[in-house]
Amino acid sequence: EVHPEISPDNLICKYLADTRALENGDADINCLVGDIWTGGMETTLTATRWAILFLIENPLVQERLHEEIIQRYPRHSNGEFDYSSRRDLPYFCATVDEVLRLANVLPWNIPHRATKSFKLGEHTIREGTNLMFSYSSLHHDESIFPDPYKFNPERFIRRSPQSEEEATEWRRGGKDLDSFLIYESNPMLNPFGMGQRKCPGEQLARKEIFVFLLALVQRFRFSIVDSNPPDTTRCRGMTSAPKDFVTRVERRRDWY
**Rounded distance, CA 60 to CA 40, Å?**
31
Task: Output phi, psi for 49, to 5 deg.
Answer: -65, -45
For residue 58, which amino acid is it?
Answer: N
Residue 31 annotated as lining a ligand binding site? no
Q: How far is CA 38 from CA 46, 128, 202, 215, in A?
A: 10, 27, 13, 23
Report whether 151 contacts 98 (CB < 8 A).
Answer: yes
Single out the residue of 58, 59, 83, 89 nearest to residue 71, CA to CA.
89
Query: How far out from the chain centre does Cα 44 lie?
Result: 7
In eight-state DSSP terms, residue 41 is I
Report whether 129 contacts 118 (CB < 8 A).
Answer: no
In eight-state DSSP terms, residue 228 is B
Report whether 56 contacts 230 (CB < 8 A).
Answer: yes
For residue 122, which amino acid is it?
Answer: E
Residues annotated within the binding site for heme are 199
Residues annotated within the binding site are 199
